[in-house]
Amino acid sequence: MRLELSPDELLSTTRSVRKRLDLERTVEPEIVLECLDLALQAPTGSNRQGWHWMFITDPDTKAALAELYRVNFIAYRDSGARPTYDDADTRAQRQTAVTDSANHLADHFAEVPMMMIPLIEGRLDNLPAFAAASTWGSLLPAVWSFMLALRSRGMGSAWTTLHLPSEREAADILGIPYDRYTQGGLFPIAYTIGTEFRPAARIPTDQIVHWNRW
């Protein structure tokens, strides 16, 4: 299924989808790989293409990864470390809904039809800003392109990172050479329940844009 979305519609309505992931519908691997082929056209530093892509459909493996995520999610949720905002801030107005959807994903992560972990060559621990930025810049554009391609085909995902405090354990579960590759997140993949999504409220640009000097 291809959605008839203009480029602007695609960019402004690709959301992190949690509660509207269809946990019952099968995701076809060939369509996911079609999305990946598009994503691999993204820029990559020095044309290294040092990315790897792990797709997980085995129920037991999904359950093990979901448990790592759930434990870290609960610790983060209950730690009081989440940011707070003034009542007039659009982020405060959406915080309850965002928390609710995050709880839902943590409760149902193991049930998603497919998971994906993007990886990049090398360990990024304690790198200087230049090296970290250039390495992440060689992976994250492709990940976002992948999410856009999913959206254009009626599927959705959510960019999650809370399994990464247990990255080594996830590497052991999946047989990833931990000392050679860094994981970039854990992404549920599913068709969405309905395909209509709206642009989200964002901070006004006059509060975040700087010209020439801060």
Angle, in degrees to the nearest 10, between helices 59-77 and 90-108: 140
Residue 113 belongs to a domain: yes
Residue 38 belongs to a domain: yes
Could you tell me the residue range of the domain that residue 157 belongs to?
7-200
Residue 140 belongs to a domain: yes
Residue 30 CA to residue 160 CA, distance in Å, equals 23
The domain that holds 46 is classified in CATH as 3.40.109.10
Longest distance between any two alpha carbons in the chain, whole Å: 53
Which residue type sits at 133?
A
Structure tokens at 123: 């360990």
115 strand-pairing partners: 56, 188
Q: What is the mean pLDDT of residues 122-149?
A: 96
Helices marked H in 109-156 — which ranges? 129-136, 140-152
Residue 31 belongs to a domain: yes
pLDDT score of 93: 66
Residue 18 CA to residue 206 CA, distance in Å, equals 30
Residue 80 CA to residue 173 CA, distance in Å, equals 30
Q: Report the share of the chain in percent with pLDDT over 90.
A: 86
Residue 116 belongs to a domain: yes
pLDDT score of 81: 74
Q: How many domains does the chain have?
A: 1
Residue 2 belongs to a domain: no
Residue 176 CA to residue 124 CA, distance in Å, equals 15
Query: Tens of pLDDT along 36-50?
Result: 999 999 999 999 999
186 strand-pairing partners: 160
Residue 210 belongs to a domain: no
Residue 160 belongs to a domain: yes
Indicate if the pLDDT at residue 8 is higher than 90. Answer: yes
The answer to whether 131 and 138 are in contact (CB under 8 A) is no
